[in-house]
Amino acid sequence: MAKTPTGKGPTGKTPAGKTPTGKNTSGRGQRDLKVQVKTARGRKLSSTRWLQRQLNDPYVARARKEGYRGRAAFKIMELDDRYRFLVPGARVVDLGCAPGGWIQVAIPRINALGEKSGKAQGRILGIDLQEIEGIPGAEIYQLDFMDDGADAQVKEWLGGKADVVMSDMAASSSGHKQTDHLRIISLCEAAAYFAFDVLEPGGTFVAKVLAGGAEGDLQKLLKQKFTKVVNVKPPASRADSSEKFVVATGFRG
């Protein structure tokens, strides 16, 4: 079972000249020692490439070392370090929360366990289609957020409206870049409409999208509903990935 980080957990920042593993890369005469994976009989080449990338990914190694459930934890870390929406006392809804890395990061930052004396205690609800292992400090529910009445159910569980709605959801890959782009934009739009129903005025919406040309309508919609909308690719996102994140703050209500 993964360890839940304490309130003094990692910031996600990497010192200059060091990799996410903490190793100095500025010295001369050093070699990158990469794990090479041979394609086994019956295994697709794409699977071999994925495995090799995982084994050589410093964020994967760091997540394993620090007890996070996935490398995506560092993406929300880096976004929050920059925009500061996971604050003590915040009420947060994490859509598509599996495997739980974003929740692990949020718990100490919103003081969900009440460990920071003198600070307001926050709450976080994780919502997902699949059942996932519990995390101390979080309330996790198995629910399709697009079902009729899902927004009302979430507000009932939360005891009111949320300060933050965040989503790292992605539709299953079809292998066709443009189709996948349209699918994730559609999913992000559904998450945005959910956020409009459950956010408090002044709230924040954070979601993953894929660059590809169809996100213009989503941007226009968000700019009507929020005072500030930015698009950012955090350092933890792989360089060869088309993913980026939209951070919309100041919900107009």
Query: Would you state the pLDDT for residue 190?
Result: 94
Query: What is the per-residue pLDDT for 228?
Result: 97
* CA dihedral of residues 196, 198, 203, 204 (deg, nearest 10): -70
- What are the start and end residues of each CATH 3.40.50.150 domain in the chain? 73-251
At 223, is the pLDDT very low, low, confident or very high (cuts 50, 70, 90)?
very high
Q: Is 203 marked as binding a ligand?
A: no
Instruction: Confirm whether residue 9 is marked as ligand binding.
Output: no
Query: For the structural domain made of 73-251, what CATH number should be given?
Result: 3.40.50.150
Report the mean per-residue pLDDT for the chain: 81
228-241 tens-digit pLDDT: 999 999 988 877 77
- Can you give the length of the chain in residues? 253
Q: Is 144 assigned to a binding site? A: yes
Active site includes 65?
Answer: no
Burial class (CB in 10 A: 0-12, 13-18, 19+), 42: exposed
The token pair at 158 is: 């939360």
Per-residue confidence (pLDDT) for residue 60, from 0 to 100? 77
Q: How many CB atoms lie within 10 A of CB 127?
A: 25
